[in-house]
Structure 1
Amino acid sequence: MAARRGERDPPDALQNRFHAERASKERRWQLLFTQYTVNPLHPDEFLKLLHRAAVVPREKYSEPQTESQEIGWHTTPLVPFDHNDTRFYFPRRTTEITIHGYPAPRG
């Protein structure tokens, strides 16, 4: 009798035995690893990789790799900083107007 569409005939006993034997042979050679260690033949490569992962991007690469890294990548000032140059140096100063912003001394 033919099987309906979408249904399968039950597997015969020979095919079932074949699949069971194959599965048992495969399980015999499978190993489950739960503990991982450094390769004893090349421990330095792993340590280099581990240390490189901890380095900040500016020390890893010469140029920014993404658009967001471009912001703040170059931090050296274009003009040398000079405290006597009033164009770029604005220290805080107290004047008669700014003194009124401070709380009055209690006495």
Structure 2
Amino acid sequence: MSKGATAAKDPINIVHQSAILEETIKKEQRHQKLYTTYSVNPFRKMYTLTGKPNSTHDSADGEEDDNFLKIIHRAHQEPVKKYTFPQTEAQEIGWMSKPLIPQDREDRRLHFPRQNSEITKYMDAAWRMKEQQENLQ
């Protein structure tokens, strides 16, 4: 067939379209799972509402849902405490926050403490005296 013949297509067959739709629906139902475990979204900000003024079933010491509290506390943890490895590429930066080389102040190869010579000690004292004199005026 040539390109001109594609313009004169066969008309749409309703039976075939219905069979395709039926097969699609069956496939969706086969893989569909009914979700019945509902809870509060832990990533949303919580707004607590007070009970009605004259209701007797709302008490000040209401019972706490331990599962809900566990979910909320887990949602507010740092990613390092929640997961064993980074979940995104951006989390890889800074994931291992423990230094590779432990800090040893006695190791002279890595630790260079500030050292003052006689000149720097003299200049520190001179600057302090100059600042004190300016503050007194």
Q: TM-score range by the shorter chain?
A: 0.3 to 0.5
Question: TM-score when scaled to structure 1?
Answer: 0.47
Answer 1 or 2: which has greater helix percent. Answer: 2
Question: TM-score when scaled to structure 2?
Answer: 0.39
